[in-house]
Structure 1
Amino acid sequence: MRLINVLVVDDSAFMRKMISDILNAHPKMNVIATARNGKDALEKLHELQPDVITLDVEMPIMDGMTTLQKIMVEKPTPVVMLSSLTQDGTEKTLESMTLGAVDFIAKPSGSISLNIRDKEAEIRTKVLQAVNANVNKLVEKEIKKPVIPMNTQRVASNVTKSNLIVGIGTSTGGPRALQQVVTQLPKEFPAPIVIVQHMPAGFTNSLAKRLDNLSQINVKEAEDLEVLQNGTAYIAPGGKQFRVEQRGNQLIARTTKEEPRNGHQPSVDVLFESLAELSSRQVYTVIMTGMGADGANGLITVKQKKQDTVAFSESQETCVVYGMPQAAEKTRLVDHVVRLPDISNALVKQIKA
């Protein structure tokens, strides 16, 4: 059995030792080296060629963001970021997702977290998952300023349907994928868009604000009992399940703290199952890059109860991790397999049809 070689990068000797101990305790992983800053990390990257890097955001000499950018240019390698839960930390973490990081782990109590073992299972899981990520896809997807496709504004304003809703589910690689899709939707998009991105509490609101600043449509974190509006995307708050309920002619967001569904809260399955109960709405579903199979069972439910549901999945060609789209496609209920850059246009064209 070939071991997964990991380079651990953190300016704290305590954190380097704790993370190394956590990873080395797993039979499939080996910490090949540690580094105390980005400059040290880049030297060891070229010398040792690790399979995965854990990278602290805040470091002296060369910080995590600069280091990540250099890694993706010089030798693209799966990177899992470790960040604090401060506002600055969450914003940098989200930026790192657009720069090519596969995933992140929130340190439970600051840059030197004495209780880092509380994250032991998450650290091991995310490093194991990262080794399978297609980092080249992340590097290829250069994020540009929003460009609304030709005629999209006209198409949207001519749509007379108003009984529509779009549900999107994504996980690993999702923040970057969402940025590419949501920023391409026209301002008058004739439906509310409800989104589950696997992400802990404290990060989803920052993700929503970031996307809102880049997009023609409005983007916000969903709030319990708010009325959903066309041309607005609602991101499930981390640590809560997100459902949509119909009350008269209105759609209402429900966000509740519950037990995770198959390890996920929010869960794509939970969201999609709620869409299946909307009696007077045409449902469109989109499943994009992510580890695991969340969304596949929800897709089965919504297709069984609402046979006119139109289902999209992101093609393997552009996925960072093909798990969730592949699981959806295995149900044989996906109508359109679409490359990531084409998803927004495909939605608009399907709604116009």
Structure 2
Amino acid sequence: MSTSEHLQNPVKVLIVDDSWVLRRVLRGTLAKRDDVSVAGEATNGIEALEMILKLQPDVILLDMEMPVMDGMTTLQHLMIHTPTPTIMLSSLSKKGTARCFDALKYGAVDFVSKNSFFQGMDSTAHSKLVLNKIFAAAKTSVQSIDPMHQKDESGVVGKLREKVVFCEDCGTRQSVKAWPLNDDVIKCQKCGDDIPVLMNKRYRRMNFITVIGAGEGGYANLLKMIPALSPEMGGAICVMVLDDRNRVQSFVKYLDAISDFDVLLGKNGTTLEGGCCYLFSGAEQVLLSPYSGNYSFKIQPTANTDSSARIDELMASAGTLLKDRVAGVLLSGEESDGSRGIEKILAEGGNCFVLNPDHCFHKTMTSGPFVRFNLQGGLNETLLAAKIQECHFAKKENVITA
């Protein structure tokens, strides 16, 4: 079976890189296939934007570092005017860096390290990897993205949250910028009385939990969804990403900087709090457990367990404990993990959604449950985020306890 199944015509690829050596390597790789063709080659972003309008490629391989106009600027321009599935090439930025996540946020569907073409990786294996990414990209629907509407990630060191507090003794109001906040009490600027400061206290009630499963391609989906959510909806988000723990940890820092939710790396024994989004790596088994009227995470390495059902396990444990106060969501992924978890949540009366497979870089994770459970179709990241908020707000007035 061809990796380009369901693609009726050869995939037209535009190669954009100032290195003639890499262009030659890529050209040679693509020339070996009948189901893909090189539509054209450009050496910088200006040339690329002109060629995109003329050639209308199915997929773009775009270098990050180029003269005249670099890849990031080019990406932002093309995603505004001619949205096209784009795979970024870079010799400097590895998968899991802030620059990589920038590219995904601005519309790229995937990332390839240029160094892998020349250093320590079997050329045949790498060629197959690149071709698989091209075919996956060609079957991915991309939307126009205006960078002016993207949240700024400049707060990567720490978000500043401003809160107005009231002194009951003298009636003075004062503003507190409270991140990070070392003390739960501040001094009144007028009378010196102690004023308790509890950031986001109104969001901490554990009224609802959404469990999200994601595999390869899921980072781009999450970058569109999590920043769109408001902590005011109450409850918590738990995300299982089937990827290396170090990359998940890097993504946590990046996502936290551009989200209103507190985005945290989930740890063993952590008690869930409303207004928080917890991320986990597929390298760990994560379950929810009752704890002092709330819930906590029970985590153990996958060395001692079956590692093929991380999403299923987390969803099933949430469904068992929270019944109709949990939602299950599946995003892009080439694994089949998540189907049994969705089944359990639905059986317990919860809600389940999948991202429209057309918006998934890899469709395996979503296409099976989408058909099997007859789930609502046509949900892109924006609509999916709205569905999640709707579920949380519907249960906000009722507090749940373990």
TM-score by length of 2: 0.67
Partner residue, 1:71: 78
> Who is 2:213 aligned against?
169
Which one of the candidate residues 297, 305, 322 is aligned to 1:281? Answer: 322
1:196-231 deviations in Å (ceiling 9; x for gaps): 3455665433322222112222113345x3524313
Contact conserved, 1:245 with 1:253, CA < 8 A, in 2?
A: yes
* Among candidates 9, 23, 26, match of residue 19 of structure 1: 26
The alignment partner of 2:349 has SS state of: coil
CA-atom RMSD, angstroms? 3.9
Tell me the secondary structure at the aligned position of residue 59 of structure 1.
Answer: coil
Contact 1:312–1:337 (Cα < 8 Å) also in 2 = no
The structure with more radius of gyration: 2
Unaligned stretches of 5+ in structure 1? 147-155
Cα distance in 2 between the residues matched to 1:134 and 1:337: 12
1:326 Cα deviation from its structure 2 partner: 4.3
Aligned to 1:100: 107
The one of 119, 122, 133 aligned to 1:126: 133
Partner SS state of residue 33, structure 2: coil
What code does the residue aligned with 1:252 have?
F
CA-to-partner distance for each residue in 1:258-288, whole Å, 9 max, x for gaps?
A: 69x9xxx8x7x52232331355334623435
Aligned residues: 332
The range that moved more, 212-221 or 186-195, is 186-195
Q: Residues 177 and 288 of structure 1 are in contact (CA less than 8 Å); yes or no, is this contact kept in structure 2?
A: no
Q: Any residues of structure 2 matched to 1:237-248 within 5 Å, and which? A: 237=281, 240-246=283-289, 248=291
| Residues 88 and 296 of structure 1: CA distance in aligned 2, closer, same or farther (over 3 Å) | closer
Give the match for residue 36 of structure 1: 43
Moved more, 250-259 or 280-289: 250-259
Aligned to 1:313: 354
Q: Structure 1: how far apart are the matches of 2:220 and 2:73?
A: 18
Deviation at residue 4 of structure 1 after TM alignment: 0.7
Change (3 A) 1:89 1:172: closer
Superposition deviation, residue 126 in structure 1: 1.4
Structure 1 window deviating more from structure 2 (283-292 vs 61-70): it is: 283-292
SS in 2 for 1:280: helix
1:254 — aligned with what?
299
1:191-206 to structure 2, matched below 5 A, reads: 191-197=235-241, 203-206=247-250
Amino acid at match of 2:341: G
Structure 1 letter corresponding to 2:210? V
Residue type of the partner of 2:368? A
- Aligned counterpart, 2:369: 328
Matches of 1:336 and 1:160, distance apart in 2: 32
- Give the deviation of 1:194 after TM superposition: 1.7
Equivalent residue number for residue 152 of structure 1? none
Q: Work out whether residues 299 and 333 of structure 1, in 8 Å CA contact, stay in contact via their aligned partners in 2.
A: no
Give the share of equivalent positions with the same residue, in percent. Answer: 26
**3-state SS of paired residue (1:345):** helix
Retained in 2: the 8 A contact 1:208–1:219? yes
